[in-house]
Structure 1
């Protein structure tokens, strides 16, 4: 635990050092201009669409392999032509699924969503059609284990899109997911990828392998280090994998297991409470100006760092210490810093390797263009309808804003084990 506490302290030193540069000694600093929830939502929709459009539009038109950028990290070790397109689809779909799951309506957003939903259904169909120019790889290499997991997580988040696929396409997905059973991956968060694939098969009435789901659930419980944090394997490292993978997939697996009466509610309740605590911590990691520390592996996944916070908001499980309005406003400011400009996109609209700009030197050796679409996972609250309190509540300052302007804010408390 000592290395855990030390590493975590480093992160907060970075955060507070950044924030103090924006504080005024002895004065209350003005916070950002107030915008309405409707304005925030419109910006989120525009931004998510901008990120996801090149992947979905090209895959729907059978031009993904023709047009997609294939930038790779220094010392990249995968075969980008075999795994990069699968990454792009899975990661994009898991992030846009909650938004696309909303019912159609005649608003401007609703019309855009309906059009994009139709393109997504076509893209999903092309991806598993052996005669398609964009038939993507689930059958070889280890990496598709990861990205098939995000595909099925998308189906779990938007079951109406699964039902919209024709029977042939559904059978193809089931076959592709089952084909992954002949491979294994790392003994860490990768356990959750195979587990969610099996849980999804169970959810659609297929045979599943209980050993894979229970191994992941049991090992992650063993790797829980306390206060909302899981270790990613036997040794702890300070990064955002608790948001990229661990909390969201753990919850989504347990939802299926509970719904199918394979487990009791207690496990899901415990996992949700842990995720809520982690969400509370990550909200505090957003500085008063909407920045957050680029800690650990895979920071090129950008706003996926807030997937757990977004999922807890989407599920209506925010702890009482976090108002929906402050979460919305904090994330809006982060998204503005990341995406209001074009620093993270190339001339054709594809994401570029980096954190906030083109910074390929920080990319890990498993990272390519397709990997970057994890960024969509930060936008899960768009699955809440526009009349939800998350979007209708008056704008509110988030924790760092209140703290650094001399206003009252809640003292933080560890959740312990």
Structure 2
């Protein structure tokens, strides 16, 4: 037993030394994030700008797929991609290489957005049938909320009107009795935020049910029964916080409701930081693991809002997420030969795809990159590399004990 302990410690210290030798600066990390996000998002945004999304996007799904593929997958690709790139595209123009790349992508996305709601375009994407558009309209709306001056305000009035009409058309359908309530609520919340007529019942129902489904210590049940997966990050915390922010700003509910939801998201972000292993891996459990780095959306958004707890340093989050991204995006295992994401978790693994997952669904991965919305001069990027909780724990460094919260 003594030798096993010694061997384990030696391995841990070797791992720590390897990590320190490979340490990069924050600006190098940022350049890698930009490269990775651009690589993921480019095929969707570039093709939509050129009205070739439907022509060129592959349509992959597993044999048990159960949706009307061509009526849902393109909106999935658009909404999920733009929700992830929005904070980055919201940064002001500058003369850096990154700034030029960002401007190019923003210009193409604006062009693509106009195409997507133009009935005369070959890439027109309808919201008016099927249930799935309830989901992905919400990601489009969330992107507009995350970058109003970059993505919503520059649109011409005809395009804005078309989006509003598409959003309102969703009211003819209802979705699943779970996190889907937030999708309907957030889209209506966006309409409220821009002064349009909205459905207060859909908004209030979503808020009320999420309050009921809170099970404690920052975890929400996804519906009446708890599911152990990443939907608290994919959807629940971030959309609830964004929706409550609109409602609090519009004096539709007490500020305290928003503050409480934000505290819970901050606590949940601690879990996400802790599950990143010393090697930069994380558990592939629950449904929708094909969403890859979207598992860390709540952590990325908490860091973007600069709301991390004092004992979770921005640099340790940066380093942990960078390590995860290197594992997923350094190689080409998650891309086909034309740069589109493939079904899988870390490679082409179609057997792990759910019955509702197709190529367009995969672009949820961009949601892990939200912290690129912090400028390059922010301490998230400029602070020296720092070990994350798991790395510290496995190398014998001091680690703050975990705890249960009562709010």
Normalised by the length of structure 1, the TM-score is 0.94
Unaligned 5+ runs, structure 2 = 1-6
Q: Is the counterpart of residue 30 in structure 1 residue 20 in structure 2?
A: no
Once the two structures are TM-superposed, the CA of residue 31 in structure 1 deviates from its matched residue by 4.5
SS class of match (1:356):
coil
Q: Which residue of the other structure, out of 60, 67, 84, is the alignment partner of 1:78?
A: 67
Once the two structures are TM-superposed, the CA of residue 24 in structure 1 deviates from its matched residue by 3.3
Q: Deviations over 1:328-348 (max 9, x none)?
A: 000000000000100000001
SS class of match (2:138):
helix
Once the two structures are TM-superposed, the CA of residue 130 in structure 1 deviates from its matched residue by 0.4
Match in the other structure for 1:177: 167
Question: How many residues are matched?
Answer: 398
Once the two structures are TM-superposed, the CA of residue 228 in structure 1 deviates from its matched residue by 1.0
Q: Indicate conservation of the 8 Å contact 1:74/1:360, yes or no.
A: no
Once the two structures are TM-superposed, the CA of residue 74 in structure 1 deviates from its matched residue by 2.4
Q: Which residue of the other structure, out of 79, 91, 96, is the alignment partner of 1:90?
A: 79
Unaligned 5+ runs, structure 1 = 1-20
Match in the other structure for 2:332: 342
Matches of 1:380 and 1:105, distance apart in 2:
19
Matches of 2:186 and 2:395, distance apart in 1:
43
SS class of match (2:215):
strand
Q: Indicate conservation of the 8 Å contact 2:12/2:395, yes or no.
A: no
Task: Give the 4+ runs in structure 1 shifted more than 2 A.
Answer: 21-29
Q: Indicate conservation of the 8 Å contact 2:59/2:359, yes or no.
A: yes
Match in the other structure for 1:193: 183
Greater shift after overlay, 30-39 or 105-114?
A: 30-39
Query: RMSD across aligned C-alpha pairs, in angstroms?
Result: 1.4
Q: Is the counterpart of residue 131 in structure 1 residue 131 in structure 2?
A: no
Matches of 2:98 and 2:356, distance apart in 1:
36
Judged with a 3 Å threshold, the aligned counterparts in structure 2 of structure 1 residues 247 and 131 are, in CA distance, closer, same or farther, namely: same
Matches of 2:333 and 2:11, distance apart in 1:
33
Greater shift after overlay, 122-131 or 31-40?
A: 31-40
Q: Deviations over 1:28-65 (max 9, x none)?
A: 64251211110000000000000000000000000000
Q: Deviations over 1:332-386 (max 9, x none)?
A: 0000000010000000110000000000001000000000000000000000111
Once the two structures are TM-superposed, the CA of residue 414 in structure 1 deviates from its matched residue by 1.3
Judged with a 3 Å threshold, the aligned counterparts in structure 2 of structure 1 residues 35 and 22 are, in CA distance, closer, same or farther, namely: farther
Q: Which residue of the other structure, out of 30, 35, 47, is the alignment partner of 1:46?
A: 35
